[in-house]
Structure 1
Amino acid sequence: MKTRGYLLLICLLSIFAQAEEASDSVGPLDPAYEGTHGMLVFNAASALYASHMPMYRKPHNAQIIYKIEARDPALVYLVRDANMVTIKPESFNLQRLIRGETLTVKADVYIGHFERGGSLTYEQIELTFSEQKYLRMLKDLGEPVTRQTYDLVNLKRGSRMLVHQIQSAPSYDHMLLLYGDVNCITNIDTGKPVPSEKILTAKLSFCGPMKPLYYETQDFAENSSSGK
């Protein structure tokens, strides 16, 4: 019995040591990523997604798309019917989403852009970030480019979307939801670093039926490269 108890103790100590080692390998959260992280909310195949509104510097220098869960079904109906829905979550460390963690927060919900005249519709709705779908850090971007690259992101039940790889200022944030399973060119020459949304839609039209989700230039203008 003593031998069995001793072996059990050794196993438990080994498990605790491995857990501590795993925790150390991740490292502590960078406090510079703590803040209010506004996001666009959209739906695809009856699922909700949140896209972080990035900027060039911490705490916002990451393009992130997450599948989210909402206890209140009112948010699902709102996102389905409104042209744009954004959220202003309570302060949290964005590095948790960068690492792909599951996170539950409360957020205020706006019809329109929460910083640009949007209408506060719901307060303190509980949301869970359940699955990371896309991550791209905004660092080492080099010079502005006229050839634009879009990443193809797979969502739920075969749904897909295109996400523009934001480049050095001037640049832009652009996302589109795709409705067909069409192979197409996602590296396009636009002639200038910040083409109009109309030109981009035309260039990407070979990807089949699509829905524009978001197009933002103001946060990526030359005088915005220092961030907020």
Structure 2
Amino acid sequence: MKNWLKTVLASPLIGLVAMAQAADVGPAHAHGVHGMLLFGEPGQVFASHLPLYRPPHDWQVVLELEPVTEAARKQTEQLLSTDTLLSLEPERFDLLRLRPGATDPLTQFRAALYLGHFESGGSKLADIDWRVKRTWLFEPVRVNVAADAQHYAVLSAGPGRQWLLHRVERRPDFDQILRIESQAPLPAELSLPQLLGQDSVDSRFRVSRIIWQDTDDLQ
């Protein structure tokens, strides 16, 4: 009788523990067409996932990619040498496979390269196979960070070759990618009291180009 009673009383607790463990693990997958902005320079190609507040797109992800073929590499480098907006429309895949430590990591995928935004009148140029060299950033979109500062992730290939990605941390917010000029290496993250725009100057860097800025999808 006592053993039976212990089992009955323990069952709800076991269920609560299982639910808590599942919550800690997070979503099991994030399948979808995960549009990205392509930027960088010859020899350093980045792709930034276009974040939303709803799953499966509620992640900020920055990858370093390289085209698999030599012809695609030359085409990409030529485009990156201009100030043209470039975007990718990948095949469907699970975004969580790009997370560091994933059990089944995604090392290569196919994506259409667009001149302009692939969902807003962009022109498709080619279907390209991309090799994933590195995941620079993989974080969930946040909505409850205090608005006392703006936080930027720093993507650096060395002095003078750096980019900033605005972290989405509240609602509404904005997605932003900036090219900066700095002769000294910067920390992996910057906390700034103000928004950055074209020709904004900090004691450590100057904004030379707004590669992308969007508020429409983050209302």
Note whether the superposition's TM-score is higher than 0.5.
Answer: yes
Aligned partners of 1:38, 1:66: CA distance in 2, in Å? Answer: 12
Q: 1:196 to 1:81 in 2, by over 3 A?
A: closer
The 5-angstrom pairing of residues 1-16 of structure 1 reads none
2:59: which partner in 1? 62
Structure 2 counterpart SS, 1:219: coil
Q: 1:156 to 1:86 in 2, by over 3 A?
A: farther
| Structure 1 position 38, deviation (Å) | 0.5
Q: Does 1:89 align with 2:90?
A: yes
Query: 4+ residue runs of structure 1 moved beyond 6 angstroms?
Result: none
The 5-angstrom pairing of residues 99-178 of structure 1 reads 99=100, 101-122=105-126, 124-139=127-142, 141-142=143-144, 145=147, 147-155=149-157, 159-178=161-180
Q: Please, what is the CA RMSD of the aligned residues?
A: 2.9
| Structure 1 position 57, deviation (Å) | 2.2
Q: TM-score, normalised by structure 1?
A: 0.70
1:49: which partner in 2? 46
**CA deviation digits over 1:114-165, x for unaligned, max 9?**
111111111x2111112111222114x3166253122223236873221211
**CA deviation digits over 1:12-34, x for unaligned, max 9?**
xxxxxxxxxxxxxxx9x823x01
| Structure 1 position 103, deviation (Å) | 1.9
Structure 1 counterpart SS, 2:76: helix
| Structure 1 position 197, deviation (Å) | 4.0
Aligned partners of 2:28, 2:79: CA distance in 1, in Å? Answer: 34
1:18: which partner in 2? none
Aligned partners of 1:59, 1:210: CA distance in 2, in Å? Answer: 33
Structure 2 counterpart SS, 1:74: helix
1:211: which partner in 2? 209
Looking at secondary structure, tell me which structure has more helix per residue. 1
Structure 1 counterpart SS, 2:46: strand
Structure 2 counterpart SS, 1:202: coil
Q: TM-score, normalised by structure 2?
A: 0.73
Contact 1:144 1:170 in 2 (8 A): no
Aligned partners of 1:106, 1:87: CA distance in 2, in Å? Answer: 9
Segments of structure 2 that go 5 or more residues without pairing to the other structure are 1-24
Equivalent AA in structure 2 for residue 163 of structure 1 = L
1:79: which partner in 2? 80
Q: 1:205 to 1:171 in 2, by over 3 A?
A: farther
Matched residues, number:
186
Contact 1:133 1:155 in 2 (8 A): no
Segments of structure 1 that go 5 or more residues without pairing to the other structure are 1-26, 222-228
